[in-house]
Amino acid sequence: HTSLEALPYLKRTRGRLGLIGSVGGLLGVPHLLPYSCAKAAVGALAEGLHAEAAASGVSVTAVHPGLMRTGSHRQAEFGGDADAEFGWFSTAAGAPLLSMDAERAARRIVDAVIQRRARLVLTAPAKAAQLVHGVAPGLTTRLSGVAARLLPTAPGRGPLRQGAEAGEPRNPVARLVRSWGSARNDRVVDRANQHEPGPRTSS
C-alpha cells in the first residue's frame, strides 16, 4: 500500500523505490512458509512495478537479503518447540559464512537503489540458492526436504514465543553450537536496541 501511494509522487521526480523481500521469497524455506509466501509477494510486486513504472522514469529495486546480523533473532516468534527453533535460527543468523552485517547490507541496498538496479540478492548462500533453484527447482525442493528433516519437529499451532523468551537447548552440544553461532548476532543487540520483547499480537 505504501509503495502504491508513493508512486504518483515518485513519477513527478523520476524517483527510485526499493522493496525489501528475502531469499525466503525466492524459494520455500522449511519452517518459514508464511514468511516465504509474504516475501514472494513482495518480490512479485517489485518486479511488476518495475515493469509498469519504467515508462514514467520510476525505478523499482527488488531486494532479497539472506540472513542478516540484526539482533532481531530475539524478536522473532517461534512455535512448536520454541527453544529448539530459536536455537537453529539464531545459530544460522549469526554464523559468519551464512549471514551478513546489517550495516554493510544497508549500504549495498542504498547503492542498488541509486543505480536503479532491478534486483539485488545479498549474501553468497542466498545467491547460490537463487541460482540452484532457477536451474533445478525440483532438486532444490528435494534438498529442502532433506534439510527439513534435520530441523526440530515442524511448528504446530500452539502459542508463539519470542526468541528473547526462549530457553537454552537441552542438548549440551546444541548449547555450544548456538553459543558460537549466535555470538555475532548477540553483539548487535545493544546497537539495534533489541533487548525487550516487542508488543504481542494475536495470531
In the chain, domain spans: 2-192
pLDDT score at 51: 96
pLDDT at residue 183, rounded to an integer: 67
* Mean pLDDT (whole number) for 133-157: 82
The number of beta carbons lying within 10 Å of the beta carbon of residue 144 is 15
Q: Output 56 or 81, whichever has higher pLDDT.
A: 56
- For residue 177, is it left (φ>0), alpha (ψ between -120 and 50) or beta? alpha
More confident of the two residues 96 and 34: 34
Sign for the CA dihedral angle at 160, 161, 163, 169 comes to negative
Q: Which fold has domain 2-192?
A: Rossmann fold (3.40.50)
Query: Quick one: which H or E segment has residue 77?
Result: strand 77-78
Using an 8 Å Cβ cutoff, are 90 and 78 in contact?
Answer: no
For residues 126 and 65, give the distance between their C-alpha atoms in angstroms, rounded to a whole number. Answer: 7
Q: Is the pLDDT of residue 49 over 90?
A: yes
**Cα 63 from Cα 86, distance rounded (Å):** 25
- Residue 78 in grid coordinates: 517461534
